[in-house]
């Protein structure tokens, strides 16, 4: 399993980074990104802490660890500058908290994240055809999520992304130990979203490509 969207006590997760990584490793994770929630108020606090945690752990665990961040409920007009700042601070995977239908995310967030060149638009909800085509053009990946609530629109995201040729990945958006999943369970989530082989294999390959790009 490669999971590029998780949270620790640095935002609203339950685990410190070391325990999150250990638990992920114990169930067979290949790679994990720590992407705690950030906005304008905490970007300079959270990302350096994630980077420090990753640097202290990476040589002592079998799982690849990537420092990242999730821009969450950031006004669309501010997203571009925040993506640039997050990268300067050391975030290697930038996730945008997309327009899930279970939260009042500002309209235009998906579009702003794509335009800013974020790596992943998480739980993008009922993403429009125009934004799908823009994501394809920009090489931005869309998320199929294992998280309850946000997963309601997985079917729409999967169907439209496959139709337009937009890259997909599957993440947990983990906040607690029970949120972590095996690759077998991830496959079931993808099947439940209406995705079949060989597309499932391609989705796992997309995740691996994001990891390789992030770790250089």
Predicted confidence at residue 53, as pLDDT, reads: 98
Predicted confidence at residue 115, as pLDDT, reads: 98
Closest CA to 111 of 129, 145, 142, 134: 134
Predicted confidence at residue 73, as pLDDT, reads: 98
Predicted confidence at residue 101, as pLDDT, reads: 98
CATH code of domain 2-215? 3.20.20.140
Total Cβ atoms within 10 A of residue 56: 12
Rounded to 5 degrees, what are φ and ψ at 129?
Answer: -60, -35
pLDDT in tens, 194-208: 999 999 999 999 999
pTM of the predicted protein model = 0.98
* Whole-angstrom distance, CA of residue 95 vs CA of residue 91: 10
β-pairing, 93-97 vs 120-122, is parallel
Total Cβ atoms within 10 A of residue 80: 15
Classify the C-alpha dihedral 209-212-73-116 as positive or negative: negative
Q: How confident is the model at residue 87 (pLDDT cuts 50, 70, 90)?
A: very high
Indicate the domain borders of the chain: 2-215
* Mean pLDDT to the nearest integer, 158-183: 98
Predicted confidence at residue 216, as pLDDT, reads: 84
CA distances to 9, 104, 118, 156 from 123, in Å? 21, 13, 14, 11
């Amino acid at each position: 399993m490669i999971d590029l969207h998780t949270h620790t006590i640095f935002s609203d997760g339950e685990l410190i980074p070391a325990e999150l990584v250990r638990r992920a490793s114990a169930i067979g994770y290949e790679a994990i990104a720590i992407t705690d929630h950030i906005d304008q108020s905490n970007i300079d606090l959270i990302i350096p802490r994630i980077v420090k945690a990753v640097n202290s752990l990476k040589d002592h665990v079998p799982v690849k660890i990537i420092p990242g961040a999730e821009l969450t409920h950031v006004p669309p007009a501010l997203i571009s500058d925040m993506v640039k700042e997050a990268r300067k601070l050391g975030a290697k995977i930038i996730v945008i908290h997309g327009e899930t239908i279970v939260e009042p995310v500002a309209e235009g967030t998906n579009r702003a994240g794509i335009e800013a060149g974020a790596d992943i638009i998480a739980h993008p909800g009922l993403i429009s055809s125009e934004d799908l085509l823009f994501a394809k053009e920009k090489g931005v990946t869309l998320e199929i999520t294992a998280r309850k609530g946000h997963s309601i629109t997985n079917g729409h995201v999967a169907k439209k992304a496959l139709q337009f040729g937009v890259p997909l990945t599957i993440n947990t958006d983990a906040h607690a130990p029970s949120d972590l999943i095996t690759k077998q369970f991830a496959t079931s989530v993808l099947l439940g979203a209406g995705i079949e082989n060989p597309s499932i294999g391609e989705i796992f390959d997309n995740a691996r490509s994001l990891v390789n790009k992030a770790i250089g």
